[in-house]
């Protein structure tokens, strides 16, 4: 039974592996990194000053293996590991019961977007924890607690719901920003003009509910402006504009 | 001909009037505030330590009247003023040629979202300037320059395009945040969990193009997750999810 995670090896070398590896470095013993992508695996091992395993079998045994690979690959990786090896994965959308049965299998899901070019303060990032048994879940909780003060036990279902909400506020917001950027580009206007607004929009939402923060033509029911703006857009963006404006108007109707 | 705006009176007492009034206070002489809404008009006049005009006719003559009223009301206000009075309005979506002809009529459009509960650093906020004649436009430019180092001359068409892009990155983002918040609420999960992600999403976009910052199931073409997530949503949110995911996938197709 694992009660205290003192050493980890990392499988994967993507954004999550990179950020968690750097964050855990110095707080817990990192033994090795293995990645299917040899180049970025080697880079991460170098960054962490740890052994780079060329093959999964070469991984140095550790209290846990932290599996930071894409959702589709988790099962495949688990099946290649010693069945007694304790494993933590980091996916929001893969349920514990969807994976091969293991005595010590658990989840540490950081609700954040990671990219190698940006350092992130993990202290406020929520980490959602689940495990096949209570002591192991507690051990993962304690491990996450080294990085964050927002550590929460959550079952696979909650985690999936959180991941879906994350897709909405990150991916969809990003895409709307992209469409706005493309629109401005088509009019030879600088995308940079929108940045203070994007920044303030996100800041406002930290203290106000999105419903209360809402402004603009759709919430005012200003159909004249809505029609004019729709006429300015390409068919695809127009459809998105129409659907979102309709939804705003519907929810804000008194 | 107006070359230097030394005094203003403010018409309106909404978020824009409030923020511009406070920002100009001390930098230019504010003579008076008039607002159709007597209560908030009185509040703003008090905040600025200036005369509160009960009627439009009572407004103290000033180099310019700064008209911060809703788009629909601008024409109505202008028609009630002395035709010789220089006027600046603040709307993104109302073209100069759509308003009654005046010798000195101009625009100062701050591309930002304002609410009375938040103070905003205007120094980085872009102000778009237009005027019926060049000296007046330059005078408005100089006035805006007291507040911001991002002052740009822009015609009505550019301003409308910028306003449309602003609606997208602010109103639509807000609404997606709202839908995510409602979804979490329906699952008894805390909305607060998303806040660090929303914050980081906006920060990332300050340094990366939205296209490059994109992650998630739609950009990966992970149709399994997309289908599962759609099945978790109410019909309205599902439709928005589907349309945006489709659009992401389309634009990111190699």
Mean pLDDT over A181-190 rounds to 98
pLDDT band of A3, cuts 50, 70, 90: confident
Same domain for B225 and B174? yes
Average pLDDT over residues A47-56: 96
Chain B neighbors of A158, CB-CB under 8 A: 187, 189
On whether both A19 and A123 belong to a single domain, the answer is: yes
Residues of A with Cβ-Cβ distance to B248 under 8 angstroms: 171, 175
Write down which residue in A154, A175, A210 finishes a domain: A154
Model pLDDT, residue A1:
72
Same domain as A197, residue A72: no
Of B178, B201, B248, the CB nearest to A251: B178
Residue A29 has pLDDT above 70, yes or no: yes
Q: Please state the rounded mean pLDDT for residues B117-121.
A: 88
Interface confidence (ipTM) of the complex: 0.96
pLDDT at A116: 85
Same domain, B15 and B101: yes
Characterise A216 by phi-psi region: left (phi > 0), alpha (psi -120 to 50), beta (else).
Answer: left
> Is pLDDT of B254 > 70?
no
Q: What percent of chain A has pLDDT over 90?
A: 93
- For residue A28, tell me if it sits in a domain: yes
Contacts of B204 in chain A (CB under 8 A): 113, 115, 118
The tens digit of pLDDT for each residue in B35-62 reads 999 999 999 999 999 999 999 999 988 9
pLDDT in tens, A85-131: 999 999 999 999 999 999 999 999 999 999 888 888 999 999 999 99
Q: What is the pLDDT of residues B188-218, one digit of tens each?
A: 999 999 999 999 999 999 999 999 999 999 9
Q: What is the CATH number of the domain that holds B26?
A: 3.40.50.720
Q: Say how far residue A141 (Cα) sits from the centre of its chain.
A: 18
Contact across the interface for A168 and B162, Cβ inside 8 Å? no
Does the residue B1 lie in any domain?
A: no
A154-170 mean pLDDT? 98
A171: nearest CB among B187, B218, B239: B218
pTM of the model: 0.95
Owning domain of residue A185 = 160-252
Q: What was the pLDDT predicted at B118? A: 87
Instruction: Tell me, letter by letter, the H, E, C secondary structure of B180-240.
Output: HHHHHHHCCCCHHHHHHHHHHHHHHHHHCCHHHHCCCHHHHCCHHHHHHHHHCCCHHHHHH
Chain A residues inside the 8 Å CB shell of B159: none
B227 by Cβ neighbours in 10 Å (0-12 / 13-18 / 19+) ranks as exposed
State whether B57 and B134 are in the same domain: yes
Contacts of B197 in chain A (CB under 8 A): 111-113, 166, 169-170
Of all residues in chain B, the percent with pLDDT exceeding 70 is: 100
Interface test with B, best of A114, A159, A177, A228 (most B CBs within 10 A): A177
Radius of gyration of chain A, Cα coordinates, nearest whole angstrom:
22
CB contact under 8 A, A126 and B193: yes
Q: What is the mean pLDDT of chain B?
A: 96
**Token couple for A252:** 């804000």
Rounded to a whole number, what is the distance in Å from the CA of A136 to chain B's nearest CA? 23
Contact assessment for residue A51 and residue B202, using Cβ atoms and an 8 Å cutoff = no
Q: Given a cut of 90, is residue A60 above it in pLDDT?
A: no
Pair (A149, A170) in one structural domain: no
């Amino acid at each position: 039974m694992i009660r205290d995670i003192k050493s980890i090896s990392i499988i994967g070398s993507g954004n999550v592996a990179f950020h968690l590896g750097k964050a855990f470095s110095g707080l817990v013993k990192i033994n090795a990194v293995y990645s299917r992508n040899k180049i970025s695996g080697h880079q991460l091992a170098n960054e962490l000053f740890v052994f780079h395993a060329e093959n999964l079998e070469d991984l140095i045994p550790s209290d846990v293996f932290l599996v930071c690979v894409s959702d589709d690959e988790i099962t495949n990786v688990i099946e290649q590991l010693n069945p007694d090896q304790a494993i933590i994965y980091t996916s929001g959308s893969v349920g514990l019961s969807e994976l091969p049965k293991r005595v010590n299998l658990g989840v540490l899901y950081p609700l954040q977007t990671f990219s190698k070019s940006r350092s992130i303060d993990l202290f406020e990032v929520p980490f959602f924890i689940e495990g096949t048994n209570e002591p192991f879940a507690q051990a993962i909780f304690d491990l996450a607690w080294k990085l964050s003060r927002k550590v929460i036990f959550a079952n696979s279902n909650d985690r999936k719901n959180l991941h879906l909400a994350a897709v909405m506020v990150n991916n969809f917001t990003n895409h709307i920003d992209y469409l706005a950027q493309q629109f401005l580009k088509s009019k030879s206007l600088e995308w940079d003009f929108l940045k203070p607004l994007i920044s303030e929009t996100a800041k406002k939402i930290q203290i106000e509910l999105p419903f209360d923060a809402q402004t603009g033509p759709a919430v005012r029911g200003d159909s004249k402006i809505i029609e004019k703006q729709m006429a300015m857009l390409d068919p695809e963006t127009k459809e998105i504009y129409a659907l979102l404006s309709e939804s705003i108007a519907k929810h804000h109707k008194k």
